[in-house]
Amino acid sequence: MRPLSKTAATAFALLLLVAAWQAVVQIGHYDRSLLPSPLHVAQGIVELARSGVLFEDLQVSLLRFAAGYFSASVCAILLGLTLGRIRPLWTLVDPIVQVLRPVSPIAWSPFIVLWFGIGNAPAIVIIFLAAFFPVLLSTVKAVRSVDATYLKVAQNFELPPLRLLTRIVFPSAFPQIAHGLHLAIGTSWIFLVSGEMVGSQSGLGFLIVDSRNVLRLDLVMAGIVLIGVFGLLLDRTVGLLERWVGRQWGMEK
């Protein structure tokens, strides 16, 4: 048998999942309000799309996600480059990071609401926290494992410190940093929903909370499906980007 192409495999796997879901609904004769069937959820999505709520929430969520994720990435990469280059500083900062990192961003939510109010800010801050640590740690690790020969070559050609960072350290560390960025996409997307359950009045997370409050379980499931599908799309997009950058960097043949 010819191996399936990646796209075909993805479509097939998703179809399988929907089929299993439908089977559970049919076999168990579950009530619509207990476990909505794929068809009901699809109708729910159409309903959301017709009323315009879907695109509004999606847009709001994606914008918040982008704001949190990109600001976290930029901060974490800049900080990681600095910390990775200055060994004694990292020895000092490492324990602090290890104490803060295991704390779920949600645990901070009471403070986040107190400090940042309601609206877009709390969701963005929570996404920021979720993305920040994986990117920071992978950047520091990448910077510290830069091949010593590259550093010697740079010294030999008398590259000034800033240029050493931008021309040697960053590009050399980039593949590993990109891996961290890829990981962070997943983690921070997970926290999008939780973020939007805290003090927001819009977005996919709010859609779920709101639908639960009016007992529209089909719409709750619709929200879950949308989050899942967009999570997959984001992951694939970043994967493509990672491969493209790898080619530009000459890391692949």
Partner 1 sequence: MEATGLSKRFTHKGRTEPVLNDVSFQVGQNEIISILGKSGCGKSTLLHLLGGFERPDEGTVRINGQPVTGPSRNCIMLFQHYGLLPWRTVLGNVELGLENERLPASERKERAMRYLRKVGLEDKAGAFPRQLSGGMQQRVALARALAVQPKLLLMDEPFAAVDTFTRYQLQDELLRIQREERTTIILVTHDIDEAVYLSDRVLLMGANPGTIRTELAVPAAKPRDRGHEDFLHVRRTVLERFELTRAAPAPEFSI
Q: List contacts with partner 1 (CB under 8 A).
A: 147, 149-150, 152-153, 155-160, 163, 167-168, 171-172, 174, 248-251, 253
Provide, rounded to whole angstroms, the least separation between the CB of residue 240 and partner 1. 19
Provide, rounded to whole angstroms, the least separation between the CB of residue 66 and partner 1. 27
For residues 245 and 239, give the distance between their C-alpha atoms in angstroms, rounded to a whole number.
Answer: 10
Which C-beta is closer to partner 1: that of 155 or that of 237?
155
Q: Are 143 and 80 in contact (CB under 8 A)?
A: yes
Which C-beta is closer to partner 1: that of 124 or that of 164?
164
Q: Are 230 and 57 in contact (CB under 8 A)?
A: no
Provide, rounded to whole angstroms, the least separation between the CB of residue 140 and partner 1. 20
Provide, rounded to whole angstroms, the least separation between the CB of residue 238 and partner 1. 19
For residues 250 and 114, give the distance between their C-alpha atoms in angstroms, rounded to a whole number.
Answer: 47
For residues 182 and 97, give the distance between their C-alpha atoms in angstroms, rounded to a whole number.
Answer: 20
Which C-beta is closer to partner 1: that of 31 or that of 147?
147
- For the chain, give the number of residues: 253
* Dihedral, 103, 105, 106, 112 alpha carbons, nearest 10: 120
Which C-beta is closer to partner 1: that of 96 or that of 158?
158
Provide, rounded to whole angstroms, the least separation between the CB of residue 148 and partner 1. 9
Structure tokens at 118: 């309601």
Which C-beta is closer to partner 1: that of 159 or that of 183?
159
Let me know if 77 is exposed, middle or buried by CB neighbors in 10 A (0-12, 13-18, 19+).
Answer: buried
Which C-beta is closer to partner 1: that of 172 or that of 211?
172
Provide, rounded to whole angstroms, the least separation between the CB of residue 149 and partner 1. 4
Q: 198 — alpha (psi -120 to 50), left (phi > 0) or beta?
A: beta
Hey, is 94 helix, strand or coil? helix
